[in-house]
Amino acid sequence: MNGQEENRTQKLLQMREEEKKPFWTPERKKDAWDWIVSLAAVVVIALLVRTFLFTMIRVDGESMRETLQDGDRLFVTVLDVKMHGVERGDVVICHYPNSNANYVKRVVALGGDTIEVRDGDTYLNGEKLKEEYIVHRSTADYGPLTVPEGTVFVMGDNRSNSRDSRSGSVGPLGENMIVGRVRFRWWPISAWGTVE
């Protein structure tokens, strides 16, 4: 028997011995467990980041035109809203009563403010707001309404086509229904920049 045949025979014997071993050896079990723990940790960290720090949102609809367009991708901070609340003029992600869907709207009034829409213009505490970002004015009057404490009044920038706090099924939103503040549009690249 020459050296090559001897090597082949040894390799065949070694392969047969490997085939006899069970698949789940202690080493493989440990490796699999390490992978499972690592993947679980990544999922938990991602959920914590999304819940408490920031998230990414896609605009779905026309209610924020011309500030935001259908399909825009947004960077939204969460923690600052949980810690400091929101201010008038903030563009926010919110939930509506009986819905977990995300809506993009602008905070127009805070608890204690009186809001009114008259002849296409918005009035806050009797003063007409300067809203240069409004291109599509409201076609219907609303209010006056004093916003209850602990709630915010949100409206879409496309005032003629937005289901928002003016709707009876929505109304003023509890502060706990504000998910986060829109900070940055990262898609499309041509519209990249801060959102105000």
Each residue's pLDDT expressed in tens, for the chain with a length of 196 residues: 566 777 777 776 676 666 666 777 788 788 888 888 788 777 776 666 555 566 888 999 999 999 999 999 999 998 888 888 999 999 999 999 988 899 999 999 999 999 999 999 999 999 999 999 999 999 999 999 999 999 999 999 999 999 999 999 999 999 999 999 999 898 998 988 888 8
State the catalytic residues.
63, 105
- The two tokens of residue 33 are 């467990």
CA–CA dist 59, 104 (Å, integer): 7
Residue given tokens 């600052």 in the structure block = 80
d(CA 91, CA 159): 14
What is the reported pTM?
A: 0.75
Residue 116 phi, psi dihedral angles, 5° rounding:
-150, 140
- Domains of the chain, residue spans: 3-52, 54-194
Question: Which CATH code is given to the segment(s) 54-194?
Answer: 2.10.109.10
Query: What is the 8-class DSSP label of residue 148?
Result: P
- Residues 173 and 103: their CA atoms lie apart, in Å, by 12
CB 157 within 8 A of CB 72: no
